[in-house]
Amino acid sequence: MNRANIRRILSLFHPYRMRLGAVLGLIVFSAGLDIISPFLLKAILDTALPERDDALLTMLVGGMIGIAVVGGVLGVYQTLLSNQVGQRVMHDLRSAVYRHLQRLSLAFFTRTRTGEVQSRIASDIGGVQNVVTSTATSIVSNATTVLASVIAMFVLDWRLAVFSLGLLPFFVILTRRVGAQRKEITTTRQETIADMSSIVQESLSVSGILLGKTMGRSDALAERFQSESARLAELEVRQRMAGRWVMASIGIAFAVMPAAVYWFAGQSWVGSAVSIGTVVAFTTLQTRLFRPIMSLLNVQIDIQTSLALFDRIFEYLDLPVDIRERETPVVLDRTTLRGDVAFEDVCFRYDEERWTLDHVSLTVPAGTTTAIVGETGSGKTTLGYLVARLYDADSGRVTIDGVDVRDLSFESLADAVGVVSQETYLVHATVRENIRFARPEATDEEVETAARAAQIHHVIASLPDGYETVVGERGYRFSGGEKQRMAIARTVLRNPPILVLDEATSALDTETERAVQIALERLSEGRTVIAIAHRLSTVRDAEQIVVLESGRVVERGSHDELVLAGGRYGAMLAGSGELEPA
């Protein structure tokens, strides 16, 4: 990880620096108290006990007990404060990633697996939780304890201190190598988790189960998941075992050090004799030193491991936002909005191979319906998405009442343009909540009025739980036509002056289509409508029909005009068998 990302990690704690400062103050104070105990022990062994000074012994023992009690209380408050800071940082990080993803255009989500996105938010951010919530305070706490202990050891006997601490630099070098190994394994592990999340999301959704069962691929999907799971299990073992022998060797070295100190203190060539109290106090300090040093060595490994996760998190946060709101955007006034829509020499493409829209110019007068027809891949849906600014034109412009949609505020544009698509999405909530999603402050009466306008109220009212019926994942408890009419009710509730109907009835049977078409006609009354049509029978009454071919406008006019012209539209009618081109 580069230094810039390390600075970004540190900046996450900046808003909570006062509370973090209080935590660090408690840590330093606790470490200072804790280091007094070995000196009290030395005084007990070298003075109070040999001299049988009961008053001094009572005072020294009372001091040791008092230090233990105060240290325990301070430890509780330290843990509380550090976890509050850590969890707020985690909250900020999760929210920042989610908000940034919400700002990305539709293009990002069409090329990225949902499981990958879920993995970044849940697994990657969850993986750094321990480092964020406890590492900062752990480093300071352990470093303070180590520093105070080392100073105390030198105060007690510098010879024993030099002998005891000689191996520390070697241990630090070894643990850095272990951390580098674990960082590499962690990167691969998170990629595997993302793959597993994608498999679960794709194959265990209602659509995925239907696909797997009807295609006889359930066993193959299970084997694919089993393969990824086995790979993850192997990586987990590798990660946990990486450097385990190194850490075990360090632990053994620390465990034998007290015995080595006893041996060293008893050697005649050391010089002046070391008192029993000094040796016991020193080994007590040495024992206390083991835990924080091991914690610091392990923290070093945890940090290096977490850096791989932070790299993946910052990779998402650094994704460029290709559709941005102006610093001073235009806000449309609904009371004066006419709803004129115009495409002025618009060009757009998804990749470098070909233009999806090639110099398209057309006008949709306020209060009229313009139908967009053409073969699959001709650019019909893209044209509608440009109005809602799900994408931005590469050149030319799309305007509403003469204002470029790129100059409008997001809120104003969303308020002005409603989209009803063939792919109806209902969230796993009640019917009422799904309809009210368009306008959360809407009353129950307004929700039901919208449902009536969408020709769906009678269906909802006949359910045992009525509007409190939970729709199930993606609305699979309802038919395609019922879901479509709920989506229309949602749009009715929002009441946008401009509508984009994206092949809203193409997947329905004739009878259901008729019911939905009635709902759409009511929804379209008095609005500017851009109807992207698959079935030509649905566009006969449109004031204007625009025929797209390979991203270009090849014909435009009313139904009768285009039939008489005998061009591309007439050929499409004849080929569809839906209407006679008379």
Same domain, residue pair 281 and 371? no
Distances (CA, A) of 120 to 180, 202, 203, 311: 22, 17, 19, 11
In terms of residue numbers, what domain contains 128? 3-317
Q: Is residue 335 part of a domain?
A: no
Same domain, residue pair 346 and 310? no
Same domain, residue pair 363 and 306? no
Question: Looking at residue 579, what is its pLDDT?
Answer: 47
Same domain, residue pair 249 and 144? yes
Q: What percent of the chain has pLDDT over 70?
A: 77
Can you tell me the mean pLDDT for 118-127? 74
Question: Looking at residue 426, what is its pLDDT?
Answer: 80
Instruction: Mean pLDDT check: name the lowest of 37-51, 295-309, 482-496.
Output: 295-309
Same domain, residue pair 304 and 378? no
Say if residues 530 and 499 touch (Cβ distance below 8 Å): yes
Number of domains composing the chain: 2
Question: Looking at residue 209, what is its pLDDT?
Answer: 62
Question: By C-alpha distance, which of 189, 203, 194, 204 is closest to 116?
Answer: 194
Q: What percent of the chain has pLDDT over 90?
A: 13
Question: Looking at residue 270, what is its pLDDT?
Answer: 60
**SS3 assignment, position 82:** helix
The pTM score is 0.66
Question: Looking at residue 398, what is its pLDDT?
Answer: 95
Say which CATH number the domain at 204 has: 1.20.1560.10
Q: Is residue 477 part of a domain?
A: no
- Model pLDDT for residues 140-175, shown as the tens digit of each residue: 777 777 777 777 778 777 777 777 776 666 666 666
- Model pLDDT for residues 427-483, shown as the tens digit of each residue: 778 899 989 888 889 899 999 988 888 888 888 999 888 999 888 766 667 877 788
Q: Is residue 473 part of a domain?
A: no
Residue type, 9: I
Q: Is residue 250 part of a domain?
A: yes
Same domain, residue pair 152 and 103? yes
Is residue 217 over pLDDT 60?
A: yes
Q: What does the alpha-carbon distance between residue 250 and residue 350 come to, in Å, rounded to a whole number?
A: 57
Is residue 341 over pLDDT 90?
A: yes
Q: Is residue 460 part of a domain?
A: no
Same domain, residue pair 301 and 368? no
Question: Looking at residue 359, what is its pLDDT?
Answer: 93
DSSP state of 273: P
Question: Looking at residue 386, what is its pLDDT?
Answer: 93
Same domain, residue pair 281 and 372? no
Average pLDDT, the chain: 79
| pLDDT, greater one: 120 or 40 | 40
Question: By C-alpha distance, which of 73, 30, 31 is closest to 289?
Answer: 31
Joined together, the tokens standing for residue 395 give 């050149």
Question: Looking at residue 130, what is its pLDDT?
Answer: 67
Q: Is residue 442 part of a domain?
A: no
Give the confidence band of 488 by pLDDT, cuts at 50, 70, 90: confident
Joined together, the tokens standing for residue 173 give 């070098």
- Model pLDDT for residues 79-109, shown as the tens digit of each residue: 888 788 888 888 888 888 888 888 888 888 7
